């Protein structure tokens, strides 16, 4: 399936800007610290879960369009990259971003597809 084809069914333009600046905590206790300048986000991500049960950090970079956000984290301690895409939930009692995510990590040649993991997270502003 070619996801780009879905662009033909999406409204043109951009949405009213949401400021995502601040700290966001997911259901695992990980913290995304986001700074926003226009439609660009940057910051740091501190994962509460990693190999051995310790935390790990990574540089965060991404984009915002209205209430939509996407960001990527390049992990400091692992040869892995994780990407999240999501939307602010207008019906949540506190500001919540619902996301889908994928992480890819180094894999032996020929096993690249086994290196991609998918999941979902939600982040609440703290």
Confidence of residue 51 (pLDDT cuts 50, 70, 90): low
> Is 10 inside a domain boundary?
no
Contact 14, 39 (CB under 8 A): yes
Express as a percent the part of the chain with pLDDT over 90. 73
> Is 40 inside a domain boundary?
yes
> Is 69 inside a domain boundary?
yes
Place of tokens 């991500």: 45
What CATH number is given to the structural domain containing 115?
A: 2.40.128.30
> Is 80 inside a domain boundary?
yes
Domain that holds residue 112: 19-125
Alpha-carbon distances of 5 from 1, 15, 71, 80, 83, rounded to whole Å: 9, 21, 22, 28, 21
> Is 4 inside a domain boundary?
no
Structure tokens at 47: 């994962």
Give the CA count within 13 Å in the CB-facing half-sphere of 116: 5
> Is 8 inside a domain boundary?
no
Q: What is the pTM of this model?
A: 0.89
Task: Please give the span between the terminal C-alpha atoms of the chain, in angstroms, as a whole number.
Answer: 37
Higher pLDDT, 41 or 13: 41
Task: Provide the domain count of the chain.
Answer: 1
pLDDT at residue number 85 = 98
């Amino acid at each position: 399936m070619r996801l780009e084809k879905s662009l033909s069914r999406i409204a043109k333009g951009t949405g009213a800007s949401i400021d995502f600046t601040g700290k966001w905590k997911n259901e695992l206790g990980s913290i995304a610290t986001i700074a926003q300048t226009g439609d660009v986000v940057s910051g740091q991500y501190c994962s509460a879960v990693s190999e051995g049960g310790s935390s790990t950090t990574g540089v965060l970079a991404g984009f915002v369009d209205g209430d939509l956000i996407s960001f990527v984290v390049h992990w400091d301690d692992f040869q892995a990259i994780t990407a999240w895409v999501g939307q602010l939930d207008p019906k949540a009692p506190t500001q919540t971003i619902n996301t889908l995510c994928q992480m890819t990590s180094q894999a032996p040649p020929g096993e690249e597809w086994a290196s991609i993991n998918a999941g979902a997270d939600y982040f609440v502003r703290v």
